[in-house]
Amino acid sequence: MSSEHSRAPPPQAHHPAPNYKVKVVQSFCGREDVRILCQNENGPCPLLAIANILSLRNGISLPHDEISNQSLLSLVASAILDSTSRESHSSDVSFQANLQANLQDCLETLEKLGRPDSTGLDVNLR
């Protein structure tokens, strides 16, 4: 087969950053009007799972109607940084180095999860 007939791979589709709808749960574990995020389409969405856990635990406050992907990433990153700053008062140098490495890894993973073409999270169970 000649190179004239070989086809180039199709261009990757552009995935616009989604906005997520916010649903209000009337009653959850004795709390009123708890907000959670809904998926736009089926499939894995660890970013929404993380955000919903934080919302259910009062770690973040979601808006009333919807939230953009970028705003959601900012909310989750802020919650991570806030929780890290509470633990960073140790004077143990190895603890501080480990905490900084874990924080860096966490923020890098969070950025990957926030991409519109993200396909989920790879987990090594070994």
How many domains in the chain? Answer: 1
pLDDT digit string, tens, across residues 38-58 = 988 776 688 899 999 999 888
Establish if 4 belongs to a structural domain. no
pLDDT score for 124: 67
pLDDT, position 22: 94
Torsion angle of the four alpha carbons 60, 62, 63, 65, in this order, in degrees rounded to the nearest 10: 180
Does the residue 27 lie in any domain? yes
Is 13 among the domain residues?
no
pLDDT above 60 (res 2)? no
Is residue 121, in this structure, part of any structural domain at all?
no
Tens digit of pLDDT for each residue in 65-123?
A: 999 988 999 999 999 888 877 766 777 788 888 888 888 888 888 888 777 666 666 66
| Domain-embedded: residue 11 | no
